[in-house]
Amino acid sequence: MANTDSIFVGGGGEGYSDPQELLLKYANRHGLIAGATGTGKTVTLQILAESLSNAGVPVFMSDVKGDLSGLAVAGSETHKLHSAFMERAGKIGFTDFSYDSFPVTFWDMYGESGHPVRTTVSEMGPLLLSRLLELSEAQEGILNIAFRVADEEGLPLLDLKDLQSLLVWIGQNAKSLALRYGFVSSQSVGAIQRRLLVLENQGASDFFGEPALDLEDMFHVDADGRGQINILAADKLMSAPKLYATFLLWMLSELFETLPEVGDPEKPIFVFFFDEAHLLFDGAPKALVDKVEQVARLIRSKGVGVYFITQKPADVPEDILGQLGNRVQHALRAFTRKDQKDLRSAADTYRENPRFDVEDAIKEVGVGEAVTSFLMKKGIPGMVERTLIRPPSSQLGPITSKERRAIIAASPVAGKYETAMDRESAFEMLAQRAEAAAKAAEEAEAKEEEMEAREREYQTGRRYSGSRVKRSTSKTTTRKRRGDSAGEAFAKSMMRSIGTKAGTAIVRGIMGSLFKAR
């Protein structure tokens, strides 16, 4: 509508003529959009993004089915639902309804349907990466060691091969690292490497690297003062749900850590739509849920509104659900006892309206209709209403590939992220260290062999010079002795023979003969 301090969502009350509005001042108090498949959640997302953009608020949303790409193109009077849209606009008092297009920037982790989205392994951090890899407590401990070693050794972790090479180095130096960080199991290192290989096969190698996403590129406002609508192509990404959920949580954490405190602004600085939110919380460890709760509680003071989109409110933990002040509840199906229990729980979270039963209304609302409750003045939850959601101004449904390519080419960030960079990081540095160590070992081995050869040559020289001199002296002496007289030679020979058994026998025989002669 014409108001600049609120967003017209639809008509409620008797005859659906009572405007249901989301006050921009409280749009950063977060929200929930829930409902079964096919009940109109996508259109609700579309009209909220349109209105926030018109108010000068940039938004981020993921496009799971491809339908949200229609935001970039104006609706048409030739569309089959044009008559129905005009009829609904008149019924709910949406008098200034018209078709329009909006400033859209397409992003894609795989770089196929939008500008590539990347971050570094270091920016992701060990907690989110452990969640992504579904590591055990022991394996998460080793991953924390890897990040600590990278910081201390000055090894930048940019892409997956950096982390993989660092884990190899940790495995090779496990004994020395154990003295400082504790036992490092080679089995755990191998398990992490296998998980990284699975992640790489899912296409995560395209996500980790440089140039990393600059969040400032998502805060653009066009010349007309309209906020940029950032759409992440998630149709292919949904085949790797853990990667999808971890990426969205990483981006939310980056917003929290990067943006300054602004208190309670008149309108949000940024609005983040977290589609398929149940993927974030399914099997999530308590530490991760606590982190999400902390971010949700504190990020609103930085002017960021977070809206979770899922099928059932029960998909969101109670501590986080309690912080979601603005709610749009589309129809829920309740065929089983568990479904009925979830329905009652959803109904209990609304401020009652005496005109109807909330539980019955949630079951009965049709497509394009919802049970809504928005924060009023002073942040008080508004009374629940059955609301007809207003029709979208942009195209309902996806755009063509040709239209998408033209929008990507004309984007304000065109060409900035398309070419991947691979500067020197942990992989190259560890390879250089290994090469230097191998060269040093080769030189040491060659030096040792040279020393051994010199030692052998030296020992051989000593043996030949010493022994030959002695033999030469002996021969000289022998030659001198050849000059003795025959009598002297016989006497000396006789004395040498005395020391032998033969000599002893001769002496004994001579002496005996002498004594016998006497």
Q: Kindly list the strands in the beta sheet with 59-63, ordered across the sheet, starting from the edge strand earlier in the chain.
A: 18-23, 6-12, 385-389, 369-373, 326-329, 31-34, 304-310, 270-274, 59-63, 229-233, 104-108, 115-116
Task: Please report the pLDDT score of residue 280 as a whole number.
Answer: 86
Tell me the helices (H) and strands (E) count for the chain, helix number first: 17, 12
Return phi, psi of residue 485, to 5°.
-75, 165
Q: Count the Cβ atoms, other than its own, within 10 Å of residue 374.
A: 24
Burial (0-12, 13-18, 19+ Cβ within 10 Å), 111: middle
Task: Please report the pLDDT score of residue 159 as a whole number.
Answer: 94
Task: Please report the pLDDT score of residue 425 as a whole number.
Answer: 94
How is residue 451 written in tokens? 């020393």
State how far the Cα of 217 lies from the Cα of 230, in Å rounded to an integer.
10
- The structure's pTM equals 0.82
State how far the Cα of 496 lies from the Cα of 507, in Å rounded to an integer.
12
State how far the Cα of 324 lies from the Cα of 293, in Å rounded to an integer.
11
Q: Smallest Cα–Cα separation from 220: which of 407, 30, 47, 411?
A: 411
State how far the Cα of 31 lies from the Cα of 382, in Å rounded to an integer.
13
Task: Please report the pLDDT score of residue 464 as a whole number.
Answer: 55
Return phi, psi of residue 252, to 5°.
-65, -40
Angle between helices 186-201 and 121-133 in degrees, nearest 10: 100
State how far the Cα of 28 lies from the Cα of 30, in Å rounded to an integer.
5
Q: What is the pLDDT along the chain (518 residues), one digit of tens a residue?
A: 445 799 999 999 988 999 999 999 999 999 999 999 899 999 999 999 999 999 999 999 999 888 999 999 999 999 999 999 999 999 999 998 999 999 999 999 999 999 999 999 999 999 889 988 989 999 999 999 999 999 999 999 999 999 999 999 999 999 999 888 889 999 999 999 999 999 888 888 889 999 999 999 999 999 999 999 999 999 888 888 888 988 998 999 999 999 999 988 999 999 999 999 998 888 777 878 888 888 989 999 999 999 999 999 989 998 899 899 999 999 998 888 888 888 898 898 899 999 999 999 999 999 999 999 999 988 899 999 999 999 999 999 999 999 999 999 999 999 999 999 999 999 999 999 989 988 888 888 888 888 887 777 777 766 555 554 444 454 444 444 444 554 555 455 555 544 444 444 444 443 344 334 44
Q: 369-373 and 326-329 as β-strands: parallel, antiparallel, unpaired?
A: antiparallel
Task: Please report the pLDDT score of residue 462 as a whole number.
Answer: 62
Q: Smallest Cα–Cα separation from 93: which of 218, 3, 184, 198?
A: 3
State how far the Cα of 343 lies from the Cα of 333, in Å rounded to an integer.
8
